[in-house]
Structure 1
Amino acid sequence: MRADDPTATAAKPIRRVVIAGGGTAGWMVAAALSKTLGKLLDIKLVESDEISTVGVGEATIPTLVTFHRLLDINEQEFMAATQATFKLGISFENWRDVDRDYIHSFGVTGKDHWTAGFQHFWLEGHERGLASDYGDYCLELRAARADRFAHLPRGGMNYAFHMDAGLYARFLRRFSEGFGVQRVEGKIVSVQTDDSGTQIRSLRLESGVELEGDLFIDCTGFRALLIGQTLGVEYEDWSQWLHCDRAVAVQTASVGPAVPYTRSIARDAGWQWRIPLQHRVGNGLVYSSRHLNDETATRTLLGNLEGEVLTPPRVIRFQPGQRRQTWRGNCVAIGLASGFLEPIESTSIHLIQRGIVRLMQMFPAAGINQVDVDEYNQQTRAEIEHIRDFIILHYHVTDRQDTAFWRGCREMDVPASLRHRIDLFRESARVFRIPNELFAENSWIQVMLGQGIVPRQHHPVAELMGDAELSSFLGGIRSGIEKTVRQLPSHQAYVEQYCRRPGTVAATT
């Protein structure tokens, strides 16, 4: 603890944890804490039935599979309870240019050599006319295009989920309460601090109940009631790079089998998502309010839907960015209270999960130490900045010049960290993963190639292979993938036999 730090506390053992807010973030925190430390802690979660949640994270990434395994959550029970389907990647449509599409999959593409990644051999094969599309050498991508899925031995298929966020929160509530979490119904009307104003003492509810705690988790969404409004942690605005600051969302009835990927369809001033669940489809339009007003955005979304509209359109306003600190004093912000980028790469739940895992690794059982707080904040910032750069990449590297929105994305200055990655790949086809970074080399390669970057050169080791050897190498990978994909059942059929909730009607073509 630094003596000159006004937010530092004396080493007071942490026994009472109060989670402010439910939803996906709150109940994920409750599930992890109660499953691992529930016997040592008194955990209370306060939420109000009158306050709606944003419901982020209906599309996820493979790290959620790991999270569930850590908590011993049965996958079939989870999927049935949340009406989930499988996800193998994201289809980016019209992003590079109108009618130019590609898929960013969760898999590994090809086979690397110790001197160079597979992309160098693919580029050499492409120059000689021996290689087909880069995606043909990735199992998950080919399976996504064929609408097929199955669990394979030894984790041979990387996947995530599409799920109903509201049902997920209910599922985790039941799970958490089974490990002793106490849910308190009520609205938080004030937050009480100590005399210095740097430590939270209690939450006062509309009913008059006062909840005291040693550690408070702020899951109050964009309001950031604890970390922002009470403790005054500033918000860092990233809208100079991420121009979208609105979303309008609706749900529609399913009109056919669920595909095993999220659709991301670029529009004139943003993009539209389609997320297929077992019982419905989630839809939304993410857009820039500088280029599109809410009424026009709503009309644009409603004019590009399939199936009966089940819910009224709901506009969500957000500011892309991050809290300058996500842990201050005895308060940790997780979820939207800590910051928000946008849902393009389905990272919202991942960032919730990472905040939870990081907190578990640094849990201050014996008392809060400022060095732990500083390390937590540093790691959080580094992680989200890497994700921020990956998301900016999608907008900035594009051939689209048909609207003011896309011209602005092409012409904007980007962070130096992203500029270096783009230049490195464009000049040499090289990608290097930063330690603990979410997106691995293949993700960067798929998106940079998909968005139209053509490397000027590649590693000379690939040039040493003769035509016959290179053709055999590339062809062997492709044919092995094709054989596996042919043996997979359809995604819809697999979901129905694996995890369809009793009473739901199977989709038909």
Structure 2
Amino acid sequence: MENKNKPVRRVVIAGGGTAGWMVAAGLSKSLGRLLDITLVESDEIGTVGVGEATIPSLQNFHHLLEINEQEFMAETMATFKLGISFENWRDVNEDYIHSFGTSGTDHWTAGFQHFWHKGRERGLATDYGDYCLELKASLQNRFAHLPKGGMNYAYHMDASRYAKYLRKFSERFGARRVEGKIAEVRMDPDGDIRALRLDSGAEIEGDLFIDCTGFRALLIGGALGVEYEDWSHWLFNDSALAVQTTSVREAVPYTRAIARDAGWQWQIPLQHRVGNGLVYSSRYTDDETSQRTLLAAVAGEPLMTPRVIRFQPGQRKETWKRNCVAVGLASGFLEPIESTSIHLIQRSIVRLLQLFPQDGISQADIDEFNTQANTEIAHIRDFIILHYKVTNRRDTPYWRDAAEMTVPASLQHRIDLFRATGRVFRIPNELFAENSWIQVMLGQGIHPASHHQSADLMGDAELAHFLDGIRGSIERTVAQLPSHQRYVEQYCAGTGW
């Protein structure tokens, strides 16, 4: 497809939910005066609606949209998130936290982990987590905004309220919502999508279509026939149960990810309730067993009947084809172990804005979009596979098979490099930075065999002073922080707290 020189003025978003309304918000705020933006959704079609945990990059999206944090948090009953507590992952009853912070201070030749490793050898260093502010604050359930962005954080939020909040935001900038079910995707003779026919008989024509129809992928998969790349040989889980419960204790500033016999359980504390779920593999367990496991493990009273969600881990081989861009679940799915779903939505939005085909859709833009999208999700995929591959658990068939599977060569290289040398190198533009890889690999039980020689240049007194200074500064800062619960109540309490 060469540039058709057909200006893109009418954008049609198929589907609402988090993905649809994030797209509407991003496009309307940035290009609303140049575009006619229509979002089609039906009140009768439910959304997955369990993407309630986020990562710090959502702040960037909100800054671009000039969204007020306190207003957003009150509207979505949000709390703060400093990381994820991984429980039973390294082995049964062995836990660690993957926080959003950085650990220690790097030298230009080598990361902090090398100096920490040397300190452990000499009996001068304590646990690696003691050198990370966000991790220590998590353990003590404390939080506050610090000067100069001194605390890295994300949010726990009510996903359905977030979609409603973004709908109001988008409509202020000219986006239009149309109620109705999509009955047919109408095509042009040349193979482009021409319009969406609704069950009412109305037709919504467009120049560019955004597929936010979830796992159904009515446009990118159904109408355009883009194939799906299956990653279930690496990521065994294909089912999830979700249930909301009443809050019975103060909200902690982290997500809990608790490994179970054939999957893992999430626990996400909001202001007004707790989001819970169990992600599992139907090859190793069944729905009834999983429901019993989940309900036996939740605290508080269930506010709904648990519902089963089926999914296939993987991605569309093309997320932009012809005049259709797939965003969210329609473009692919990775289980929410590292809360990356909303991040991938916003990255698609930013990428689309950067490559927006205002003067006509060109194959060069499409190819660049797809290359970036495929590379980005592959890096995240590897990081998620790491949690399963590197484990000491051998107590169930699920964990034995996960530990024994062959992983992508790109991931195996990272594991081998860290195990041998303690080194981690970030690939340009990938989501997870060096410290994320280090926290997870150390937490899962990889102990490097060696360290960088820069750490050998410090004598005991100098190294002890260096390590103690970092740890002491963090302890003093955390001691001055208020409790997370109290801070949220004062900063952004929503109605219904």
How far apart are 1:292 and its partner, in Å? 0.8
Which residue type is aligned with residue 312 of structure 2?
Answer: Q
Shift of 1:433: 0.3
2:81 aligned partner, one-letter code = K
Query: 5 Å matches for 1:75-94?
Result: 75-94=69-88
Q: Distance in 1 between matches of 2:129 and 2:491?
A: 28
Alignment partner of 1:493: what SS? helix
CA distance in 1 between partners of 2:32 and 2:51 (Å)? 26
Cα deviation, residue 246, structure 1: 0.4
Between the aligned partners of 2:186 and 2:300, the Cα distance in structure 1 is: 48
1:282 aligns with 2:275: yes
- Quick check: 1:108 aligned with 2:102? yes
Summarize deviations over 1:13-32 as a string: whole Å, max 9, x none. Answer: 00000000000000000000
Deviations 1:244-284 (A, max 9, x none): 01000100000011000000000000000000000000000
* Counterpart-to-counterpart distance in 2, 1:104 and 1:343: 14
Answer whether contact 2:238 2:279 (CA < 8 A) is retained: yes
2:136 equivalent in structure 1? 142
Which of 488, 493, 497 is matched with 1:500 structurally? 493
Say whether 1:70 aligns with 2:68.
no
Distance in 1, Cα, partners of 2:120 & 2:361: 56
Please name the residue that 2:245 is paired with: 252
> 1:315 corresponds to which letter in structure 2?
V
The answer to whether 1:37 aligns with 2:65 is no
1:110 partner letter: G
Residue 309 in structure 1 maps to residue 302 in structure 2: yes
Shift of 1:463: 1.1
Q: Please name the residue that 1:204 is paired with.
A: 197
Give 1:194 deviation, angstroms: 1.0
Task: Find the residue that maps to 1:60 and give its secondary structure.
Answer: coil
Letter in 1 for 2:107: H
- Matched residues in 2 for 1:249 and 1:9: separation? 45
> Does structure 2 retain, via aligned residues, the 8 Å contact 1:9–1:329?
no
Percent identity over the alignment is: 74
TM-score, scaled to structure 1:
0.97
Pick one of 363, 375, 390 that aligns with 1:382: 375
Tell me if the contact between 2:70 and 2:492 (Cα under 8 Å) persists in the aligned partners: yes
Q: d(CA) in 2 for partners of 1:311 and 1:113?
A: 51
Q: 1:117 aligns with which of 111, 116, 140?
A: 111
Return the offset for 1:10: 1.3
The DSSP-based 3-state class of the residue aligned with 1:315 is: strand
Structure 2 match to 1:193: 187
Q: Displacement of 1:185 after TM fit?
A: 0.1
Q: What letter corresponds to residue 434 of structure 2 in structure 1?
A: E
SS in 2 for 1:456: coil
In the alignment, structure 1 residue 427 sits paired with structure 2 residue 397: no
Give the CA deviation at 1:9: 5.6
Rounded to whole Å, the distance in 2 between the matches of 1:360 and 1:195 is: 28
Amino acid at match of 1:28: M
Distance 2:321 2:24 in 1: 20
> Could you say what secondary structure the match of 2:86 adopts?
strand
Aligned equivalent of 1:475: 468
Whole-Å separation in 2 of the counterparts to 1:332 and 1:432? 32
Structure 2 CA distance for aligned equivalents of residues 35 and 199 of structure 1:
27
Q: Distance in 2 between matches of 1:372 and 1:318?
A: 29
Q: Structure 1 residue 56: deviation in Å?
A: 3.7
> Does the 8 Å contact 2:327/2:345 carry over to 1?
yes
Q: Offset at 1:453?
A: 0.3
Whether the 8 Å CA contact 1:135–1:142 is kept in 2: the answer is yes
- The 1-side partners of 2:233 and 2:214 are apart by 22
Question: CA–CA distance in 2 between the matches of 1:497 and 1:230?
Answer: 50
Paired amino acid for 1:81: E
Secondary structure at the residue paired with 1:303?
helix
Preserved CA contact (<8 Å) 1:56 1:349: no
Q: CA RMSD in A?
A: 0.7
Aligned twin of 2:208: 215
Cα pair 1:107 1:158 within 8 Å, conserved: yes
The normalised TM-score by structure 2 is: 0.99
Match of 1:356 among 341, 349, 360: 349
Match of 2:19 in 1: 25
Structure 1 gap ranges (5+)? none
Alignment map for 1:418-457 (pairs within 5 Å): 418-457=411-450
CA contact (8 A) 1:24 1:56 kept: no
1:149–1:488 contact (8 Å) kept in structure 2: yes
Q: How does 1:155-174 map to 2 (within 5 A)?
A: 155-174=149-168
Deviation sequence 1:322-350 (CA, Å, 0-9, x none): 00000000000000000001000000000
After TM superposition, the structure 1 = structure 2 runs for residues 228-377 of structure 1, keeping only pairs within 5 Å, are: 228-377=221-370
After superposing the two structures, state which structure 1 stretch, 102-111 or 8-17, moved more.
Answer: 8-17
Give the Cα separation in 1 of the matches to 2:412 and 2:242: 33
Runs (4+) of structure 1 exceeding 6 A deviation are none
Offset at residue 131 of structure 1 (A): 0.4
Please tell me whether the aligned partners of residues 50 and 242 of structure 2 are also in contact (alpha carbons under 8 angstroms). Answer: no
Match of 1:97 in 2: 91
> How far apart in 1 are the matches of 2:404 and 2:134?
33
Number of residue pairs matched by the alignment:
497
After superposition, the C-alpha distances for 1:89-125 in whole angstroms (9 at most, x for unaligned) are: 0000000000110000000100000000000000000
1:416 alignment partner in structure 2: 409
Q: Deviations over 1:339-368 (max 9, x none)?
A: 001000000000000000000000000000
